[in-house]
Amino acid sequence: MFARTDDAFYDDVLLVDERESFLGLITTQTLFKVQNALLRANINDLVDKEQEIRSKNEQMETDLRMAMELQQALMSFNYSRFCDDKRELQFSHRYRPASMVGGDFFFISRISDSCTGVFICDVMGHGVRSGLITSMLRALIEALGPRAAEPDFLLAELNHELASILRQIDTTLYVTAVYCTIDAATGQLRVANAGHPSPLHLVSESGRCVRCAPQITKGALSSAFYPRHAIKPRQ
Amino acid sequence: MFARTDDAFYDDVLLVDERESFLGLITTQTLFKVQNALLRANINDLVDKEQEIRSKNEQMETDLRMAMELQQALMSFNYSRFCDDKRELQFSHRYRPASMVGGDFFFISRISDSCTGVFICDVMGHGVRSGLITSMLRALIEALGPRAAEPDFLLAELNHELASILRQIDTTLYVTAVYCTIDAATGQLRVANAGHPSPLHLVSESGRCVRCAPQITKGALSSAFYPRHAIKPRQ
């Protein structure tokens, strides 16, 4: 190949030997035909490649979307079962995760007819890896059954089980979590916090916001220290 | 725009009015310049678009790879801890999953100094969604602790907890699983099977392969029926 300046780019090319004797002529037309064919081949290649990547991409997105639907179902789709209009406790949530499947997770569980547990956690990092940890936590809460009525105990147990799993695979991973139980019969709200931002309690009588528990900055479920903060939401 | 036949494609274009009076001439050179510019713009667009999709793709792949590393660590990286060359029980595995993160899962757990549990499962479907279920199962096994020594009990418990979670979110999902405990002290191998292909026992004395338990075709962990099959591997 040979390079030409922009000005001369559209001129015919004269081929000469070292003594400047005429060897031949490549017309612009011919050059263009060749170049055109190259460009078109280039475009076809790119379109094919794009198609291939796009289809792989769509597969992964479909995969992640199905996983997202499961993860979000694990969080929210169950509380309408035990919190209808006629109950004293009602819940609503707003969830804006960083990625389709990730470490932002919450779970509202029925403990008894009057008592409900609210678990909120954030697994360090994001993406599917963190999502796998959230589904472990969800399963561990399920396995605790009625023992989930005790906030301190629940966080300590989750910490114990998760730490045991992670220790086996030499993995360090931080999780912050807060867990509240709300009992409509006794009017008691109990909160245990493991490094998570404190939940806010909007007091209806005064319209003021109260932090439910002091925030512990120390790394989360890796710590075994869960201060309890008990307040009575309605006196 | 106007279309031309392939033959005439590289000719100059003569512009005439309805009475065939000469209006102007577009030389092939000019046409080529325009076409060339269009093709190059087209290529640049495609390259940009490809770059964008490729980068999104790489992000998802990195995400999945990190999740895959965690999932595979949950399976295999721990058994070397309690099964070294000096022990009676030794393990090795070959794992070829259908996708990076998916529903193919196994777990080898230490129950006591002499006893080990081997859990193998296949969650219906594949991809991240199924992967989330495997990490739940892994956590549930962890939570069972020493109670995992009883194969029937382990599968029944996993079934109970998983079914309870899935019922809350109106999701049907099938899992097949087989769980064996191998006790080097007593020489006893116990197997419970929930719809999974039977494990094969290669008997060292005879060189024959024996199926450890009959395969139950009925859908898996959704069923509460787990036949037990107990054989003594070394008499």
- For residue range A100-149, list pLDDT tens digits in order: 899 999 998 888 888 889 999 999 887 999 999 999 999 999 999 888 88
Tokens representing residue A117 in the block: 């547990």
Q: Which of A110, A119, A134, A168 is the best mutation test for B, with the most CBs of B within 10 A?
A: A168
Question: Angle at which helices A128-144 and B128-144 pack, to 10 degrees?
Answer: 40
The domain that holds A111 is classified in CATH as 3.60.40.10
A14/A88 same-domain check: no
Q: Which has the higher per-residue pLDDT, B234 or B204?
A: B204
B83/B70 same-domain check: no
- From the number of C-beta atoms within 10 Å of its C-beta (0-12, 13-18, 19+), residue A192 rates as buried
Of A73, A125, A132, the CB nearest to B135: A132
Residue B208 has φ and ψ, to the nearest 5°, of -90, 155
Residue-level length of chain A: 235
**B81 contact residues in A (CB cutoff 8 A):** 168
CA-based nearest distance A129→chain B, Å: 4
Number of domains comprising chain B:
2
Chain A: residue nearest B138 by CA? Answer: A136
- Looking at the DSSP bridge assignments, the partners of residue A106 are A120
B63/B92 same-domain check: no
Provide the percentage of residues in chain B whose pLDDT is more than 90: 25
d(CA A196, CA B51): 38
A28/A107 same-domain check: no
Chain B: residue nearest A60 by CA? Answer: B60
Tokens representing residue A192 in the block: 């245990």
- For residue range B22-58, list pLDDT tens digits in order: 888 888 778 778 888 899 999 999 999 999 999 999 9
Confidence band (pLDDT; 50, 70, 90) for B93?
A: confident
Confidence band (pLDDT; 50, 70, 90) for B86?
A: low
Mean pLDDT of chain B: 80
A48/A68 same-domain check: yes
Query: Inter-chain contact A164–B142, Cβ cutoff 8 Å?
Result: yes
pLDDT of residue B207: 87
B69/B151 same-domain check: no
A110/A226 same-domain check: yes
pLDDT of residue A58: 93
pLDDT of residue A81: 63
Q: Indicate whether A225 pLDDT > 50.
A: no
Residue B78 has φ and ψ, to the nearest 5°, of -100, -20
Q: Which has the higher per-residue pLDDT, B71 or B11?
A: B71
Tokens representing residue B161 in the block: 């907890």
Q: Pick from B57, B77, B97: which residue ends a domain?
A: B77
pLDDT of residue B90: 80
Query: Inter-chain contact A131–B50, Cβ cutoff 8 Å?
Result: no
Chain B: residue nearest A76 by CA? Answer: B169
Confidence band (pLDDT; 50, 70, 90) for A3?
A: low
B7/B51 same-domain check: yes
Q: Give the three-state DSSP class for B87.
A: coil
Q: Pick from B51, B77, B103: which residue ends a domain?
A: B77
Q: Give the three-state DSSP class for A66.
A: helix
B215/B127 same-domain check: yes
Q: Which of A51, A136, A147 is the best mutation test for B, with the most CBs of B within 10 A?
A: A136
Element holding B83 (H helix, E strand): none
Confidence band (pLDDT; 50, 70, 90) for B166?
A: confident
pLDDT of residue A230: 38
Beta strands, E only, A76-219: 104-110, 115-123, 175-183, 188-194, 200-202, 209-211
**B78 contact residues in A (CB cutoff 8 A):** 168-169
Q: Pick from B23, B44, B77: which residue ends a domain?
A: B77
B140/B210 same-domain check: yes
B61/B95 same-domain check: no
Q: Indicate whether B230 pLDDT > 60.
A: no
Q: Which of B127, B233, B231 is nearest to B173 (CA)?
A: B127
C-beta atoms surrounding A23 within 10 Å: 9
Chain A: residue nearest B69 by CA? Answer: A129
pLDDT of residue B220: 37
Q: Indicate whether A44 pLDDT > 90.
A: yes
Mean pLDDT of A29-43: 85
Q: What's the one-letter identity of residue B194?
A: A
Q: Which domain holds residue A218?
A: 78-231
- For residue range A172-206, list pLDDT tens digits in order: 788 889 998 888 888 888 888 888 888 888 888 88
**B67 contact residues in A (CB cutoff 8 A):** 127-129, 131-132
pLDDT of residue A210: 83
C-beta atoms surrounding A43 within 10 Å: 16
B137/B150 same-domain check: yes
